Structure 1
């Protein structure tokens, strides 16, 4: 069994590690399919209440392994790569109703950058960078980069970054609103674990419904979004976590949420 993607579960948190450090965690077919399997495991396991995606080694993810697409015996073709590798990964990250953190520990390039940006919260180490590298080799952005990046930083800036392929430092990404927070190398792992633990102990039923609302807001008009907010607020108010939250507030104690 391959270990190109590792999954560790600890304290209700699933840690998914991209594990091809010798090629900067670039994806080949086997790794992409393994990633989908691990995401499915996280979605179906009710004990998992938050997910963290890391990269092993110096990089988060360098995108597609170009050795695969240039080897006539291995190359699955770009349609297969997108429709069977990357698109399902993006859809899984966005569709299951648990918070997903991208812990960007180094360079995130091409599809690697866009997988990170598809996550709910992006944290980066101070020496990390983000590169829309596609134009450098005559390709167009994929893995939902053209969907998420303009919504995060605006059309004009996203266009420039995608056409020019500029490297964006972690601090620049933070200033642009591309990511949530930047930490030093010394504190990065601790801060990632702290945030993941906070999320895993929150009312994750409500967090999942919030994620559904945010997903729908990308295509809904105002009336549709207001109606969905009403429906999901009713669903949230029927949860055990809501009852616990209100009871704890009245009793002036810290709530203990169970995620349902």
Structure 2
């Protein structure tokens, strides 16, 4: 195991074991609320994990029994509306969101306990969210007189549709994990008594999948989301690369021989 950051109040903690990087939100005094410094740390950390050849999968979770209470209320202006010397305003929460979303490797948010406000935004920047059955999720900007950041609203609309997005945002209601799954806020809900075991099994299975397949499909899905102008060329390039990847032959032979495939493709660099 290697440690990238020390576990400190109001900081991000990272451990890397067997190809899995676990990023933990650590601010127990504020129910893991995100400060400006934590948002900046996420922005610095994620590119390093993406470039680390020892990391295959990135997991985001909260320390203790809370995922994240959102942006720190005491630092809200600095987190969302940090005024720069030139007069412009910087949204550091959305900067952290973008850093997570830009990872080329599979990312999973494991949500236990409360996941509120900006906590859901950074969780949803991962490829998908797995929630503990006891988790509660709420997007509450209307309760404190602010606007949810644009990347969070746009992703929310893509996931749940316009009407449900308005319902979630305008009411500021807190949803159970089961309700959140029905709305599309999380991908799956796992019983509390087996949460850690099932999540570990899921993450381990991701580590064993074809990295070529996962990296390629993740990028293509993201480009579809963004209606990218070069998506046709991206598809053509990915399709052309498929037979040249060692993973295709490895996967087919393993299937025919009823063996577990040992994929070898790794991203350049």
Structure 2 residue 144 is matched with structure 1 residue 141: no
Q: Secondary structure at the match of 2:90?
A: helix
Picking from 255, 258, 264, the partner of 1:258 is 264
Aligned residue for 1:64? 71
- TM-aligned CA deviation for residue 237 of structure 1: 2.8
CA–CA distance in structure 2, aligned partners of residues 248 and 77 of structure 1: 50
- TM-aligned CA deviation for residue 259 of structure 1: 4.0
Picking from 71, 77, 81, the partner of 1:78 is 81
- TM-aligned CA deviation for residue 214 of structure 1: 0.9
Instruction: Provide the aligned C-alpha RMSD in A.
Output: 2.2
Picking from 111, 124, 128, the partner of 1:117 is 124
Q: 2:80 touches 2:92 (CA, 8 Å); kept in 1?
A: no
CA–CA distance in structure 2, aligned partners of residues 145 and 227 of structure 1: 28
- TM-aligned CA deviation for residue 206 of structure 1: 1.6
- Structure 1 window deviating more from structure 2 (2-11 vs 118-127): it is 2-11
CA–CA distance in structure 2, aligned partners of residues 243 and 39 of structure 1: 32
User: How many equivalent residue pairs?
Assistant: 255
Structure 2 residue 237 is matched with structure 1 residue 231: yes
Q: Secondary structure at the match of 1:144?
A: helix
Q: 1:15 touches 1:54 (CA, 8 Å); kept in 2?
A: yes
Give the alignment of 1:1-260 within 5 angstroms: 3=8, 4-69=11-76, 75=78, 78-79=81-82, 83=90, 85-142=92-149, 144-220=151-227, 225-260=231-266
- TM-aligned CA deviation for residue 65 of structure 1: 0.8
For structure 2, the 5+ residue unaligned runs are 1-5
Deviations 1:216-253 (A, max 9, x none): 102328x9645532321222332222231123234332
Give the TM-score normalised by the residue count of structure 1: 0.90
Q: Greater RCO between the two (CA within 8 Å, min separation 6)?
A: 1
Give the TM-score normalised by the residue count of structure 2: 0.87
CA–CA distance in structure 1, aligned partners of residues 79 and 108 of structure 2: 29
- CA distance change for structure 1 residues 219 and 84 in 2, over 3 Å: closer, same or farther? closer
Q: 2:81 touches 2:91 (CA, 8 Å); kept in 1?
A: no
For structure 1, the 5+ residue unaligned runs are none
Deviations 1:4-28 (A, max 9, x none): 1111111110000101112111111
Deviations 1:79-128 (A, max 9, x none): 45983622222222222211100000111111111111121110001111
